[in-house]
Amino acid sequence: MTTTATMSDRATPSVAPPPLNPPERLLMGPGPSNPDPRVLAAMGLNPIGHLDPYFVETMNQTMEALRNVFRTRNHHTVPISATGSAGLETIMMNLLEPGDSAIVCVIGYFGQRLAELARRAGADVRTVEVPPGEVVDPADVEKLFAERPAKLLAFVHAETTTGAYQSIPEMVEVARRYDALVAIDCVTSLGGVPLEIDALGVDAAGSCSQKCIGAPPGLGPITIGPRAMAAARARKHKPSTWYFDLALLFQYWGEDGANRTRAFHHTAPVASIYGFHEALRIILEEGLEARWDRHRTAHDTLVRGLDRLGLSLFPPEANRGPTINVINVPAGVDEAAVRRRLLGMGVEMGGGLGALAGKVWRVGVMGYNAQVPRVERFVGALDEALRAEGYSA
Ligand SMILES: *Cc1c(COP(=O)(O)O)cnc(C)c1O
């Protein structure tokens, strides 16, 4: 009897939450951006088994399309079944092991995160850090290599916290001289700015689905080149992660050529892959060059609009890129109140992170949103929100 009483005391009531009715938003923050409606439609296509021959073919097409978007012939190119951070974690956990040395450039929060991933992989990590807005001088990286070799050089291409872009070719050149692998975080750049993995000689790169690719969050596209795969295969020990072990992942996604097994590893998020496949299709139909131009044009529209409002961008002009725009909050303006007002108008932008919290806003011009009318709508709403907060240019 007491048992029954205890059980009913602890029983949870069967009360369903209300149905969801999320508001329509123009997502101009640092991510996610609005997906193309075609992507959302694709996510509702017929569900099938993840080992269904049709889905296996979908996986093959997705890998091939992703190679084209990364501009690479790397076989090992897949969307990891988790967000962008998971793709980067996959790279670090497989390319580094205890006893390895890594050099990581830190130009903002996401660089710190790369360094932390490398440490958790067991590597001895040395960092090159610069103040927010600045980028790393390759000569400072070279100094560290000259002191002591490292297996891997890692850095963030577009640092979403500061809006600064780290130029890639000079970094690859330094790493090559010391025979090190190069891994990049291109989460806020892939699909929005020129980025050619093979031509640049980048060994491993990780991005996400929800920024310039134009799909909802949930996938972490990565590409791993032959040198990096050789390093992963030459490990002394298996990686300490099971889910993100490249050897197991490619028993599932399929190795190149004859060893094309499809061993069950995890259940691919079928609906997310449908959406991602459609997003890649849209990118390749548009053409990468046209897409890069579109992002540049939309960014120019934003900059002209900000100029009219008397607002300035945080990073020095030489370090800026089109996809992530970090704006100085004008003196005397309550930045959080402005963001709240904007959201009331159905428009989202981001606040500052870490050292820049309260000092900047972060505005993404990414994917489907990188269109002049959408950017103009954003600028109009920002103007209204600023006026309502008592600001005048
Ligand atoms: C957004 C972002 C990430 C994290 O990606 P998630 O998909 O949120 O896990 C990592 N690095 C950079 C530079 C980013 O902008």
pLDDT at 1: 43
49 CA → ligand 1 middle, Å: 29
Task: Please report the pLDDT score of residue 262 as a whole number.
Answer: 85
pLDDT value of residue 9: 67
Residue closest via CA to ligand 1's atom 7 equals 84
| Site of tokens 């040198």 | 227
| Cα–Cα distance, 126 to 141 (Å, whole number) | 10
Distance, CA of 189 to chain centre: 7
Q: Which of 213, 226, 224, 276 is nearest to 246 (CA)?
A: 224
Cβ atoms of 187 and 30 within 8 Å: the answer is no
Q: Helix or strand or coil: residue 238?
A: coil
- Report whether residue 319 contacts ligand 1, using a CB cutoff of 6 Å: no
Structure tokens at 1: 């009897």
From ligand 1's centre to the CA of 102, what distance in Å? 21
Residue 185 CA to ligand 1 center (angstroms) comes to 8
Pocket of ligand 1 contains residue 186 by CB under 6 Å = no
Is the beta carbon of 292 within 6 A of some atom in ligand 1?
no
**Distance of alpha carbon 54 from alpha carbon 66, whole angstroms:** 18
Q: What is the pTM of this model?
A: 0.96
Q: Nearest-CA neighbor of 115 among 168, 167, 152, 154?
A: 154
Give, using CA atoms, the residue closest to atom 12 of ligand 1: 187
> Ligand 1 centre and the CA of 60: distance in Å?
25
- Tell me, in angstroms, the distance from the centre of ligand 1 to residue 187's CA: 5
Residues of the chain with pLDDT under 70: 1-9, 258-259
* Closest ligand 1 atom number to CA of residue 160: 15
Q: What DSSP string describes 91-102? A: HHHHH--TT-EE
* SS3 category, 387: helix
Q: What pLDDT, on the 0 to 100 scale, is given for residue 326?
A: 98
Q: Is the CB of 82 under 6 A from ligand 1?
A: no
The CA-to-CA distance between both ends of the chain, in Å, stands at 74
Among 160, 222, 325, 356, which residue has the most ligand 1 atoms within 8 Å of its CB, making it the best to mutate? 160
State in Å: Cα 206 to ligand 1 middle: 9
Going along the chain from its start, the domains and CATH numbers come out as: 26-32+288-388 (3.90.1150.10), 37-284 (3.40.640.10)
Q: How far apart, in whole angstroms, are the C-alpha atoms of residue 168 and residue 347?
A: 33
> Is the shortest distance between the CB of 110 and ligand 1 below 6 Å?
yes
Is 31 touching ligand 1 by the criterion CB < 6 Å? yes
Q: Is the CB of 185 under 6 A from ligand 1?
A: yes
Ligand 1 centroid vs 85 CA: distance in angstroms?
Answer: 6
Å from CA of 109 to ligand 1 middle: 10
SS3 152: strand
Tell me, in angstroms, the distance from the centre of ligand 1 to residue 83's CA: 8
Element (H, E) at 324: strand 324-328
> In 3D, which of 170, 169, 215 has the Cα closest to residue 69?
215
